[in-house]
Amino acid sequence: MSRRRQIYEGKAKILYEGPEPGTIIQYFKDDATAFNAEKKGTINGKGVINNRISEHIFTLLGHIGIPSHFIRRLNMREQLVKQVEIVPIEVIVRNVAAGSLSKRLGIEEGTPLPHTLLEYCYKDDALGDPLVAEEHIACFGWASQEEMQDISAMAIRINDFMAGMFAGIGIKLVDFKLEFGRVFEGDFSRIILADEISPDGCRLWDIKTNEKLDKDRFRRDLGGEAEAYQEVARRLGLFPEGESEVLDLNSERKKRGK
Ligand code: UDP
């Protein structure tokens, strides 16, 4: 592989300069972190699975008119994306109470919400990504009110689409995180979906058993996290027959002598 300039290394991904101006390569790592990186580990094969799941979801969202940074998958762990200026806000979309919402407001995990709830967190690791109101976003100029309208409308459409898609394969979409970016076209900028959508940033529960099929298995030391990610990919119809060696986690482990 030729030497590429690394732009940024995050907790689960590395960004490299892309082949053309305005493009970036996203490399998906197996590294997993939780609780603002206090807990660190790896989930075997996660990068390969998240690359495929995110490609699949961004492609389907493109078909319903959601613009995103995704251009194409390059290989098992990399995808080519458009360079964006990331809006420093994490958008949390919730259908069922869980995680920090349950803790903050004392609502039992698993309680369905009367309607979809959008929350915003300011992206700042040093501050632990604090929850903020739209008024803070406007006050500090993190995004304009027009941009927030686009972001919230897209988040609701993405949720409607994804909740239906997952329900069709027996999975409840409890909550998830989205990130958006700006692309500049002449004097104008436009908001598009960025980052990734994978079990790292979604809560996915089996509809019948409520078994967790997402990063909470890692966060809460439940075990079986690699198998859970694999199960989501399998139900989405990814890694069909013939590519199954990709997901043969045992053979990967054996090769490493673990
Ligand atoms: N989430 C994420 N990155 C973050 C914070 C949250 O991907 O930095 C996702 C998380 O996986 C979950 C949803 O957003 O699907 C809501 O997370 P919550 O606010 O409940 O935080 P947590 O309990 O995970 O700390």
Contact assessment for residue 247 and residue 45, using Cβ atoms and an 8 Å cutoff: yes
pLDDT classification of 93: cutoffs 50, 70, 90: very high
Q: Is the confidence at residue 245, as pLDDT, over 90?
A: no
pLDDT tens per residue across span 219-235 = 999 999 999 999 999 99
Residue 129 Cβ < 6 Å to ligand 1: yes
pLDDT at 132: 98
pLDDT at 258: 45
pLDDT at 56: 98
Q: In angstroms, rounded to a whole number, what is the distance separating the alpha carbons of residues 107 and 111?
A: 7
- β-strand partners of 131: 121
Contact assessment for residue 80 and residue 25, using Cβ atoms and an 8 Å cutoff: yes
Q: What is the average per-residue pLDDT within 98-120?
A: 98
Q: Is the confidence at residue 113, as pLDDT, over 80?
A: yes
Contact assessment for residue 249 and residue 45, using Cβ atoms and an 8 Å cutoff: yes
pTM over 0.85: yes
pLDDT classification of 239: cutoffs 50, 70, 90: confident
Reduced DSSP (H G I as helix, E B as strand, rest coil) percent helix, strand, coil of the chain, to 5: 30, 35, 35
pLDDT tens per residue across span 9-27 = 999 999 999 999 999 999 9
Ligand 1 atom closest to the Cα of residue 202 is 15
Residue corresponding to tokens 């298995």: 217
pLDDT tens per residue across span 33-78 = 999 999 999 999 999 999 999 999 999 999 999 999 999 999 999 9
Ligand 1 atom closest to the Cα of residue 176 is 15
The residue whose C-alpha atom lies closest to atom 23 belonging to ligand 1 is 99
243 CA from centroid of ligand 1 (Å): 31
60 CA from centroid of ligand 1 (Å): 23
CATH of domain 85-206: 3.30.470.20
Q: Between residues 134 and 239, which one has the greater pLDDT?
A: 134
